[in-house]
Chains A and B, each alone.
Chain A
Amino acid sequence: MSLLKDAYTLYIRDMLIFKKNWKTSIARSLIFPLTLILLLGNLGTSASHIPIAVVNYASSPSAMAFISQLNSLNTLTVAAITTQQNAMQLLSNGDVSSVVVVPSTFGKPGSSIVLYTDYSSPITSQEADAAIDQVAEQFGAMTNIHSTGAGVSVSTNYVYGAASNYKTFLVAGIVIMVAAFGSMWSGGFTLITDRQLGNLKAFMATPIHRLSILLGKMAYGISQSMINGLLALAIGLLYGCSIAAGPVGIIPIIWFAFLSALGFSGIATALGARINKIEVYSLIGMAITLPLWILSGAFLPTSTLPKFMQPFSIYNPMTYAVNAVRDVMLKGVLPMATLVYYSILLIGFALATIALSLVLFKNVSPV
């Protein structure tokens, strides 16, 4: 098959160029996932030394133990304040994130601590409250006191059950999205620069089928995607994410990253076949990829999207790729039926975009 052989020749050419500039190329691939994972991955997880104020009305040893336990946490920095009024002043000034009031009845049955929280900075306060709640529960277990009585407002509104997993939640989304976008920003992009520099014309003047140019570009885009996706996954794992399904989970992750890349390589080459300005390509590329990204639930669960957007996320093929990887990384199980169903959806998406690309590539302009 000379079609495939020519496609391979052109693919090798792009990869040689990539190899020549591999340092900058890899650095460029790293920046995006690195920034997102380091910045956003920290949300609600690794905050430390959140200032809180404690007003202690009890003089019992258990109250003292409770406060010193709070103080020993890395998450919190505890300031002992004598009156509730002063403490509330600190809270309203924003000097502390929460105020814990330990009642004089602390340690006796039926008593409860009271927690006042500044929710204008929700992620920090959730973090602090979660820590306080945990310590209070420990004490409840030890001394038979239920600390979750009236007045304790502790948020337990976490995605997938535990706050520390947001990092993994996010990484799953980012792996898929950088894989999908890798195709957009390499395969289609180089198609346009090749046209601008005259390479496309030179290729088309040789006796190769023009579809081999398309296949070569798609293969190059997918390679870049997989490199980007695996780098993002590696960053995530180094940064403390885990794959609940174990090392074997890498296989479905790569599979779904590949399917996403395949679909987007179709979009990229379809755009590149008809657009000859980088600026226009970038604009349209952004307009397509950014909404798909947000709507796929890569940052936040799709259930948190406004109601009118929900259908968009259902018809967004990326949603399924992100869900699949998230199931593998967070839950550790991806039933075969789900895997097949998601795969079929994504393959269908890829076939549609590739068909579009084939049609547009028939009359691809050499200049």
Chain B
Amino acid sequence: MKENAIEISHLTKKFGDFTAVNDISLNIEKGEIFGLLGPNGAGKSTTINMILGLIPPTSGKILVEGKDVAKQANETKQDIGLVMQETIVEPELTAEQNLRLFGRLYHMSEEEIDKKIDFLLDLAGLTAFRKAYAGTFSGGMKRRLETVKSLIHDPKILVLDEPTTGLDVQNRTKVWELIKKINKEQGVTILMTTQYLEEADEVCNRIAIIDHGKIIALGTPTELKHSISKGDIIEIATNRQQLEEVAKIVKKTLGEEPRISGDKVSVSVSTDAVKKMEKIMNALNASRIQVHGISMHEPTLDDVFLKLTGASLRDATTENVQSSRAMLMRRR
């Protein structure tokens, strides 16, 4: 049996009448990259805040590296590094000052901090920008600095809350490379949330999907994808007025219950996907229904998410993140 970095048992958090986290039990193994996915308000942040020791649970227990967060918060905090959703490196401080601040807050000696700063700036590829103010950095540089900042005190676990939100593809790739490197070379356990499901699919060893405060699915990305469909997914894009009609035809042709989301009708098929797609096309032609497109693909985490929570993760979160970002920009 593998050792666990984080053990969560029967964790519950209530805010008044609202139950944000409802009796969650979960083990995160040492050295793995674990993804916690869920729509907004599902209880992800509340769970993470309790692991970080920022808010006390209503009931239940969290062990971090074998230590109880409720009783030994100072020790468990030394074991965890936090990378936040928003880029929170201080723009009015230099890269070095940003790192030094947190080194001191983790009660490291100045010599340890000096050594660590050299190492971390090198790891982030920012050695040349040691004395430059973080405010002058690009988004990707800031995020890399933020990521290595969380490593200043040699944590055993790294908690990443939406580490690549708001970054372009190139910078996202760089951040993921850095995170994978940290995981691999330093054996740091990674617990992360993200809204980019394809990234979670690629990076995470295991994934838990959380909704309404409960874990509704847990497993490797492949396990999760196969849990909803052994085969492929056929998707038909059409205009909204015809969605119902298309769904009816699909059901009549295949005998399977299709799902409707946005302007698409989709259906999981376990065998003979190509033939079944042809059948649908013929049936649609016979009914003289115009469609925008028809496609077939293997199930993705998006499909898993859609099936389990009834909402697309991206749709639910992007808007929210952007508006809060805009608000912060204004205030800054």
Chain A residues close to B by CB (< 8 Å): 2, 6, 9-10, 13, 16-17, 20-21, 193, 196-199, 201-208, 278, 366-367
- State whether B53 touches A205 (Cβ < 8 A): yes
Instruction: Known contacts A16-B92, A20-B93, A278-B331; decide if A206 and B86 are in contact (CB<8 Å).
Output: no
Residues of chain B within 8 A (CB-CB) of A199 are 88, 90
What is the CA–CA distance of A16 and B82 in the complex, to the nearest angstrom? 23
- State whether A193 touches B331 (Cβ < 8 A): yes
Determine which of B75, B78, B90 lies in contact with A13 in the assembled complex, contact meaning CB atoms within 8 Å. B90
Among B54, B92, B97, B105, find the residue whose CB has the most chain A CB atoms closer than 10 A: B105
Closest to B159 in A: A205
B52 beta carbon closer than 8 Å to chain A: yes
- State whether A198 touches B88 (Cβ < 8 A): yes
Residues of chain A within 8 A (CB-CB) of B92 are 16-17, 20-21
- State whether A197 touches B328 (Cβ < 8 A): yes
What is the CA–CA distance of A196 and B324 in the complex, to the nearest angstrom? 10
Cβ contacts A to B, 14 pairs, < 8 Å: A10-B105, A13-B93, A17-B90, A196-B331, A198-B85, A201-B49, A201-B84, A203-B105, A204-B52, A205-B77, A206-B77, A207-B73, A207-B106, A207-B107
Determine which of B88, B133, B331 lies in contact with A202 in the assembled complex, contact meaning CB atoms within 8 Å. B88
What is the CA–CA distance of A320 and B93 in the complex, to the nearest angstrom? 40
Closest to B105 in A: A206
Instruction: Known contacts A9-B105, A207-B107; decide if A366 and B49 are in contact (CB<8 Å).
Output: yes
- State whether B78 touches A201 (Cβ < 8 A): no
**A244 CB → nearest B CB, Å:** 42
Interface string of B82-105 (1 = CB under 8 A from A): 101110101011000100011011
What is the CA–CA distance of A197 and B330 in the complex, to the nearest angstrom? 12
- State whether B107 touches A198 (Cβ < 8 A): no
Shortest 4 CB-CB distances between A and B: which pairs? A206-B105, A207-B74, A207-B77, A17-B92
- State whether B86 touches A197 (Cβ < 8 A): yes
What is the CA–CA distance of A205 and B69 in the complex, to the nearest angstrom? 12
Residues of chain A within 8 A (CB-CB) of B84 are 198, 201-202
**B137 CB → nearest A CB, Å:** 15
What is the CA–CA distance of A206 and B153 in the complex, to the nearest angstrom? 10
**B125 CB → nearest A CB, Å:** 22
Residues of chain B within 8 A (CB-CB) of A20 are 92-93, 133
Instruction: Known contacts A197-B88, A198-B88, A205-B52; decide if A2 and B93 are in contact (CB<8 Å).
Output: no
Residues of chain B within 8 A (CB-CB) of A278 are 331
B80 beta carbon closer than 8 Å to chain A: yes
B55 beta carbon closer than 8 Å to chain A: yes
What is the CA–CA distance of A231 and B74 in the complex, to the nearest angstrom? 42
Closest to B135 in A: A20
What is the CA–CA distance of A198 and B133 in the complex, to the nearest angstrom? 19
What is the CA–CA distance of A193 and B330 in the complex, to the nearest angstrom? 11
**B216 CB → nearest A CB, Å:** 25
What is the CA–CA distance of A205 and B149 in the complex, to the nearest angstrom? 13
Closest to B81 in A: A205
What is the CA–CA distance of A197 and B93 in the complex, to the nearest angstrom? 15
Among A13, A196, A199, find the residue whose CB has the most chain B CB atoms closer than 10 A: A13
**B51 CB → nearest A CB, Å:** 10
Interface string of B25-54 (1 = CB under 8 A from A): 000000000000000000001000100111
Closest to B104 in A: A9
**A194 CB → nearest B CB, Å:** 9
Given A199-B88, A201-B84, A207-B74, list of 12 further CB < 8 A pairs?
A6-B105, A9-B104, A13-B97, A16-B92, A201-B49, A205-B53, A205-B77, A206-B102, A207-B78, A207-B106, A207-B107, A366-B49
